[in-house]
Structures are given as structure tokens and as C-alpha cells.
Structure 1
């Protein structure tokens, strides 16, 4: 049966329209999503490339914002940077995973549409997120002036106050709270020379959040920028310690008076004239005299440093007499107290009292005669000759310099300063107690810089005076010309570091000279090949450039070192030289530092040197006495020695104990086969940040070197048999350190640290087996 419902014509048309409308919606809801899914599949490559482009756009934009480090980044900008950082990491991971994922199915016969669709959709979504982040990254303001860093707080237990210092402090504090005073000068013998404007500007800049300025920036330009920045700070106090000569504060960049009512400045100086001359520039000033300690305060400070020795009734009177001779000067009281600590002999105390009463006229400007006598006494009371020599060695550095202990070790090694030591490591170990002794005597101070020590300004002046008969010191004096002196031949040490000397003498008559620190002379472009020719006793030479590396002209030529038969320490950091032939002439060299140096591709280049590989001993015992070799940050360095040397006479480093190679991007092999044969004494090997390094050891054709190592019957003849520590870090191309079987020959190896080397192959189990065999063989 058929049932037919009759509808009037108008109603039929309406129903038909409704049906068509419904059908259209069905098509819309079904077809459009399907189309979008196919769009993700068809355009996935395009979306992925769009995403890659967006990431590349965001990265520099994020860096541009982050580089505004001279000011404090606003909170909303910080949040945006964090979002961008997170998105970039996520997007890069997606791009890496997405391009590597299998996009086929059915054993690779058909495309995997589902996977491709997911990739396309996720890529498109991330592109939209990237565009939104890019839009959000345009800020009207991204930063505000940073708060000054200020100065480090000093632990209260290190502060000792007395009546005289309290009075001076109260006077200073009163002046600081007085709005009518903006310049305060403190002078007296109780405060610790030539002002280095650029250095002071750099220090202020760092505290204000600026980065250090370039060498091209003039003092006036830097001063203008600092002045503008200081004006942004409502109230600020600037303290300039130990000012020796008058200089313009406006040149420095310090706004005062009506230029900046909230800026106050304090200077300390040993010269009253400096205080009063600089104060004349400003209408609202206060001069504070820092008086010497009272007799009671001096005694309290003396007892604090000499300990319970003076409590003895037999020594108490003479101890007070000694303290009185210090004249109330804190540095004198402290140094004498330290020198007499643990001294219980009455006659010794009486002798010290008599020595301090002697009239010792000196011409050390800014150093009180009494201070000189007390410091000289501390020096004379150093029972260790090594400590005295080390003390005078420290005077060769510029005033207020952070002295790297390793520099003292290098120089000391060259000068044979430390007795009964045979290696650099022994020298390093011997230097520690010597330095500790000097610090305990208050002749050296701790430094805020790691592995450094400092010398008090007054102590530095006295040290120069004590050593003036054998040392000529003009370090950090801004000299532009070679010193105009009649003769330098009598000196065993000449220090001209941190100057601007441009013209060097053709030849220098210095037959007794043993040490020449000449580093960081910005205008010393080159020297003649005769410059060092008359320095036959030279043992330590430092010609480094820490601030102006790689000048256009080579500074060293091979002939420069022709007559150097005693040179044991050579430091050439940041130096450019034409070739390395001169190294073959330095038969006595023990310490060589080539950090950031610039030379030909190989350290030992037999072709460049004009030497035959078949040469026989003993003529070619190159760098025979060298114990430590550091090669750092050499962009063109490709290896120590190229090619194969055919005879065992090429024992280039028979005494080498430590080898460090760092940041040499072109290096592919650290130790080639021809060098492995002569490294029986190598104890430490450190390799880091060599991007193209493929192998640490090259065992020669078909592993001949490895066979030779494994076939040795005697431990004494095994190459690398003394290797104790080996570290390899951040060498992305390195696949393995050595074959597991080699571990059997490394009898002394205690430390093997490898990280992170992305292409390193998994060989830990083999290495472990090898080390276990090595230990069994050794036992």
C-alpha cells in the first residue's frame, strides 16, 4: 500500500527549499573539514617551511630585545622573551622530528596520509602562534634604566673601628646628609697613583649596567654617556679610592653641583694638595683629615695581630716600645705585629725596636718614612729567601693589579726562583706556601679575582724601592716612549707592562737581564731582530697582548731569538708572528704559552723550517725541556706537526708532562703518530671545544702505532705509560677516544672524562674491560 500525502504547491516549494538548505549544510559540514585535512596533507611542506622562516625571524628579534642589557628589561618584555624561547625550542624539536618521521605505510608502498595530515596541521598551527608572537614583540618601551650594582658588602667581622677612624667616619656621614655638600675629600697617611681615566670609566660603566666600551671610544664620548646615565639616578654616591693626581671629574663623566644635585663624590688620597685642588672646582666641599691611631688604639691593633706574645711580662714593655715606633699608622702596626707573631726572644724584640728608631731617609713619594721602616722590617724578617724573591717579583706588576698566581709560577720557573724543584707542577706546589707566608705577613693580599693575589699600593711602592738596585719598574705608567735612562745594563729585571710604548730600540744592552715582562703595550707593533740579541741571560719573556690581540704586522720574526740560550719561559698570548721557526732554536724552553696566538697552521712545520725529516740526533731535539704546552683559541691551528717523521730522533717533547688544547676549530688530530713515540712522560691531556676533531690519537698507517704500544714488553717503553688524567669536552665530531684494547697500555690512567661529544660511539664496556686488564697487569 502506498500512502501519498498531498501538499499545496506553496508548501511543497517551501519544503523543497528547506531540504536543499539542509543538504547544503550537510555538504558544508562534511566537505570543508575533509578539504582542510587534504589541505594539511597537500601543503604540509609549505607549512613546515613557513614555520622554519618564522623561527628564523623570531630568533634575531628575541636577541635584539635581550641585548638591551645596559638597562633593566620590563616585566612584560621578559615574559615575551620567555614565551619566544619556549616556542623556539618546541618548534625546532618539531621541525627536527617532523622531517625525520616515517611518512609511508604498507611497507613503504603508500603515503601515510594520517601522519602527513597531522604534521601539516601542527605546522600550520605553530605558524599562527609564531605570527602572533612576532606581532606581540613590538613594544613602545622595552626597558628602564637599571639600578646601579653598587659595591659589595663587607662582613662586619672584617671591620675594625677606632676613635680616630670613628671621628673621620662621623664627619663623612654628616657631610653625606648635608644637601649643601657634594664633594668630600679624605686624606691622610692612613689611606692607601696615576689615575687611569679609561679604567675608572669602565668600572663605573659595569656598576651602572653598561657593557665595557670599545677601544675606539674616546674618554669624552664615554664621559658624555656616563653623565647622561648618572642623571637618571635620583641619588648616587661615587667613591674614588687612592687618587694620586688631580684630574677633571667632568672628563670622567661625573655630574656635580647644579648639573646633578643628588650626586655626591668621595675621594681618598695620600696627598693633601690633591684633595684641596680638586675641591676648588666645587663650591660645596668638605675636607676630612684621617688622623693616625691613638696610642691605645695602636696597642689594641698591635695585640690583635701579634697575639698573646706581648702578654708576657718580660716582653710587654719592649713590645709597647715597638708599637709606639709604628707611629699610629695602621699598615705599619699590622705588618710589624704579623712579623713579630710567635717571637718570644727578648733580644730579638730589642733589636727590632732599635731598627725602627734608625733614621732611614727615603724618596718614596706618598710613603711615610715610618711606614717604609716597618715594611722593610717585615721584608727583612722573611726568613725564606724564596719569599723575598717572590715579593720583589710581585712588584714587577702594575699597581693595584690582580696578579695571577700562575704568572708567578711561570716567571718563577724561568728564573729558577724556587729551589729544589724539577718540574712545573713541583714549582706550582712550592709557590703556594711561599705566597701563604707573604699573605700571613700582610705583604700580599687576597684578591676578589679567582687564583689571584694583590699587593697593597703602599707595599707596592716600598717593594719597588727595595728592589730598585736590580729591577727597573715602570709598569702601568702610560709611557709612550722607551724610558730615557743612561743605562739599563745593571738590571736583572725590567718591567714595562701596561704602557703605550711604540718605538723600541734597535738593540738593548742588557747582558744581566733575566726577566722582561712587556705585555699589553698597545702600540708596540714589532721589534727588530736585534732587539733581544744582547740579552744573553734572559730566562723569562712575556710579550702578550690581552687587550689588543692579532695586530696587522707580525711582532716576532725567527731571528729575534737567535742568541737566547737561557730562555725557559716564553709567553706570547694574543701575538701574531710570521712562522714558528724560532721555536726550534729555543733548546732550553720549558714553559710556552700560545693562547690566542696567530701563526701558520702547524706548531712544528718541518717544511717551513727547512729541515729534513730524516735528520739524525742530537741536532733535532726540538723543545727538549718543555714540560707544559697550552694551545688556546687558535683559529687556523691544524696540528702540532704535519706529515710522518721517519726516525725516532724526532723526540720533540721528551719531557712534556701537560698538554692543553682548547678552542682550535680547524684541528682534526691532537697527537699524530710521529709525536706519540716521544711522549713517555705525558701525565695530563686536556682537549676542549675543537669542533672538527676526529681523533685524539693517530696511530699511523694500519694502526702501526697501536701495534707498537701493545707489543711493548716493558712498561718503561710504552708510549703514554705515564698518562694519569685525560679530559675531552665539546668535540662534536669525535667518535671515540681510542680503541678499547689501548686501555691495557695505560697503566697509570686515573681520570678519563669525556663530555659532551655528540657523535661519540658507545664503547664503555670495552674500555672497562681494557682498564681492568690494565690494572691486573700492573698489579
Structure 2
């Protein structure tokens, strides 16, 4: 019995349950019509609720940028399904209702009618349930903030090394702030986009914030962007300080990376509420700017300030081809060659390559391309589509942000020089002074300092670039074109700049009377035989032509001319007497001309402050009392001119003379000059010792008295055997404290140049073709002066060292030196020089380049293995 399982139910219970089941089945059929009517009404009400809720959700999503709540989304999805099902039942129901009316509850098809009735009853309950739960007070909320948001970015060319440099910097714990700087349109924002998208595509623990500064109220604008990115509600009535507090309270709890684009001045992170990055918080700030000085103000470590350079030729052409289309370049065999010329004129600036590439995309004939090449060479590219209206205005922001009109005028002045021209800084500043662009100063030194300060500011703004050596600057071709475009649009500055465009004849112009500055330098003009009526002309550059003849009346109608440059016209032998009409002239440059005599009419130039006669080797006559008649003269340059020492007596009358350059050809001339103490000790900046025949020894004291001597050249002193070092030069105040540049050329009997140790601020040393030179610094000679023995300060300011054709040179110095400022060493044809005065601590932190022949480099011996490892990467083969 234990294996038998039995269920016992009463008969009444079974009957009751069967009755209830049958009753329910019958109710689905009998109540079908009523339920159907109720369903229609309930569904309409549910649809109304859905419409209202959907409208609220869309408003929250589109207008408030919120994200719908998951429960609201789920309700809407379920309601949509239920309404769909209900609509289908309502469509199917009429035939069943008709059959019910004919047969009553005893339908001929009870199974199908019962199924429909059951479905309607179920859907009706679902509709009622959805209605009861469809009342939402909130339909959306703030979306979760992603760690980084992707930014639109086109494929880039040539930014890979910059990207790697920035990204490697970001990985360093000690680096908190990174600056990216460079010319407008060079790709800084594109690079920052790449950094942002790298964050987006990888896993990390940074909260990445992108913000763009503005010239107008940059802190407020950046605060608003940061607040939006970190989920703070926009409250326009709050002050900068209140917003800063809110931002700080959020960011100090996060590890963030702030990508700050396009700042124009020092940005006060603390005032904006941004916590400063530290190793403890691990946060980073990467910013872009066009100004190097802004980089240094934001953080002074230059290793963390990364310059974005223009593209090299190959990558420049690749970018240009992408924009112009390879099909266009293949339309005609000549187009590709012409395209290379167009690309060259863009000088690697991506903005120019992109803009001009797009402008030329529809140009299918060589003639159109020849025209484009010509207008680019003539600096009139604004006629091309997009250049004058799109490209130049973008670049002009850098110009607009210069401190004042003086800086802007000085910048525009640089566009008078030809493309790719290395502009000597001192020459440029002297022209600015002559034009009256600088402040009135009590002395020339202060005026020059202001000029160099402006040059530095233009370099910081990436509107000028440094030349290969520190004495020159250059202007990017596209920036120069932009400057000429600005001058062309200006009412005050009217330029006529046709420099370096291969002119063979004097050019024509429609409105000479409007021109304020004219440059025809670096052409092939031979004759100036037509009078130019230029009543407002202030600067005229005619240098580096083939001038032979300038008619006497050429200068008759230039009453306002202040700066005249005729330099480097070797065929110009006679100077027009008509120059006497230039009553406003302050700056006259006749250097490297073939002038044989100066006209006495020059005496009328009462305002002359600058006269350059350097290397006028054919000059035979200077009228007596001519030099002394220039009573306001401040700068007199006569290096390489045989008359310098002959007019020393006249110079005594020039009470404003500040700068003098001279050449001495023998010891007696040097001795004579030493008697003119005022000029000899204070005014002389540049000296050449040329020839020095019959002088085997030079007393260094004769030169040490020159307090402001900046440049010294020993040229072809074939008999000179030694420069004597005397003890009293060390004990006195006679050291070369101002000497920066030394050249020794063709001094075949010199064994060493140990005397340069008396120039503690020497920056550049060039020694060429001294066949007997054995060492640069002799330890034995230094030992004769006890104060110099063991001097570790040798060459502490040296930046460049060039040694050419020194066949007996075996030693620079016998011990390693620190060389804290050394940037470049160039050694050519010095076969005996097998060791450099370097160790692993030399030139530390500097980006040193050592140029030389590959065979010589392989034979160089090193202090130790660590020195060899340190300097092997610095070598650059010399291209002969």
C-alpha cells in the first residue's frame, strides 16, 4: 500500500471548478462587443498619453540635450507594441461581432470567437495597466559624460613626428603642461584634434576636455566650455570667480586632460578654476598658440614646448595633390611641373597648400597654371579664389594681435626684402631707426635695443623666423605675401615691392604719389633714367641690382625719402649729384658698390644719421670736410674702405657718433687710431685687420681698449705669427667683454688663437685656411697667465665653431669643456684633428649638430664610451 499515491477531491469542488471555467469561456464571447468598445476608447486615450510623453522626451533630448530615462523608454516601447496589437484586433473584430449578433452567445464558430474575445480582454487589461503607469514626472536626465568625445578631423600629412613628440611628453609623470606653437595655418589645431581622438580611441583614466579660447574674454569662454563638458548647469549670471569655484570643485576630484586651443596671451588657469597639473593629481594641459612667448609664460621648460614646422617639399606636394586632385595634375604633361613651382611658393605651409590646392582643382590647362605661378611669385596671390578672402584673413590674426601700430609697421617693413632673404638684424633695426618707426631715444644703443625687442616679439609671434645664425631673421613666403596684402589694403601703408622678381628695367606704376615704401632690390636693373614723382616715399631699396647709371634728376621728387639703400651694386661707379635734393635723408647705404668718389653735394644731407661705406674697395676720393659736415651722424661704417683711417681727424667733430666700423692694414694705422680715445674706446663695433704686412706680432692691448668691439676679423695677415697675451690685460678692465664674433682667415703663420680666451662672451668663431695653425687654445700660453690656468669658463657662450682647411690643426683644447651654449660645429679638411674637447657632460641639454666629412668622423677618438654614445647622433654629413 505504501507505493500507491492517491489524490482525493470532493465532487463539489470538481463541479465548481468546471463551472467557473465554462463561465469564463462564455464571458469572453458574450462580453466581446463591450470589451471591444472599451478597448477602442482606452487605446485612443493611451495614444494621447504616448503623444504627450513623446513630445516631452523630444523636447528634453533636443532642446536640453538630456537623455531619456530607461523606464520611460521601456514604457514607450511596450505601449507601442500594445497599441499595434490592439489596432490589429480592432481591424479583425467586425466579422466576429456580426456573427455573434446573428447567433447570440451560441456562435457557430465558438473556438475562434472565444480566442478573439480572450485576446481583446487581455489587451484591454494591458492598455489599462499602461495608462495607470504612464504618468512620469521626469522623462529625461543628464547623460553620463564620456571620458572623451570624438572630434571631426581630416586625414593629415606630415604631423606624425609632432604627434609622437606630444604623446611621448604626455607619458612623462613630471610633465603637466605642454605647449604647441607655430605659424598660423601650420596644423596646430589639427594636431590637437589628433591628440583628442587618440584619447577617444583608447582606454585611459583621463576626463578629456576640449576648449577653444578667444581674443575677447577668453577666460569666460573657456569656463563655459569646461562647465558644459563636466556637466555643470549653465548659469549666465554667475561671475568668473563663482564659475571658477564650481569648476575647481569638480576638476580637483578628477584626473583630467584639458586641450586648450588657440590662446593668444598668457591664460590664467587658476582664475578660470582649472587646478594646476601636478604629479600627484596626474592631470595634463595641452594648449596651442601662435606665440612662443605665450608658451614660455605658460611653462618655461622649452623641452615641453613643441614647435610645429612647415612641411618639407615631398610631404608638401603630397598634401597639395590631395586637394588639387591627381586627375588635374595628369591633364597635361606640363601641369605637374608647374604644380611643383606652385607648391614651392607655398613654402610648406599647410593652410596655403590646402587653399591654393582647392583653388587650382578646376584648372586644367598649362596657361592657367602658369598664371597662378606668376601671381604667387609676384606676391599677388590674393587674386586666386579663397586666398584674399579666406587664407590671408586667418593669418592676419597674428598681425592684429601685435601690441601696437609700431610693431605692425615694423613687421610690414620686413616684406620689402625678397622671398627667402636673410635679413641682418642690425641692418633692419637701423632702417627702422632711419624711417622713424622707433621711439625717440637719448642714445642709439637704447633705440637699437628697442628694435631687437620688437624683432624678438615678431619671432615669438611666429611672424619672423630665425636665420641659420643668430644675426639674421627671415620671413616665411606666405607671411610675406600676407604682409604685402595688408599693406595693399591699408590707407596709410602703400608699398611697391618688386624685389627678387628678375626685373631688367625700371618698372611702371599707376600712382607713384601714393607709394610710401618701395623695394626693387635683388633684380637685374641696369639704368634708372626716368624720374619718379614720389612725394610720400620714405624708404627706397635698390640694392643687389646691376645698376650702372642713375640719372642726376632721379631723386628730384622724393622730398620725404629717409632711407636709401644702394648696396651691392658693384657696377655703380658714379653717384648722382642729384642726391642733394634728398633733404630728409637719414640713412644712406652705399656698401659693396663700385663708387669711386663721393660727390661734395652730399654735404646738403644735413639730417644724415647713418652712412655705410663698407667694402667700397674702389673708393678713391672723399672730399675734405665731407664726413665732418654730417653733424648728426650716429653710425659710420667704413670697414673694408681704405679711407677709414684717413678721416679719423674729421670724426672727432661728430659729437653724436655712436657706431664706427674700420679696417686697419698695418700696425701704424692701429697705433694712430689708438690716439683718438673717444672713438677708439667707445664707438668702434667692427674691426678688420687686413694684410698687416711686415707685422709679425700684434699687441692685444691695442684691441682690448675697444670697449664695444663686437666683431673682429683677421684677414690675410700673412706675416702675423703671434698675438701677444700680456698679464696686464687680465688685471685691468681691458678684456673683450663685448666681442661676439671672430673670424681668422688666411693667417698662415699663426700657431694658435689663444687670445680668444679673453672674449668671455664669444658666440661665433670661424677659422679658415690658416695653414700653420696647430691648436686653437694653447695650454702652455694660458699657463703663462696664472689667472687663466685651469679656466673652466672657456667658450661658455660659444654657439658656433667653424674650422675649414686647417691642415696642421691637431687640437682645439687639450681638456674637455662644458660648451653649455654650443649649437653647431662644422669641421672640413682638418685631417690631423682626431679628438674633440668633449665629454659626456659637454653641451648637455643642447640640440648640437656636428657637421663634417664622413671619413673624418669615423676616425674621431672619444674620451670614453659614454661620450661616444652621447655624440654619435649629433653628426650630420657635410654636403660639399
TM norm. shorter chain > 0.5? no
Largest Rg, 1 or 2: 2
Report the TM-score when normalising by structure 2: 0.39
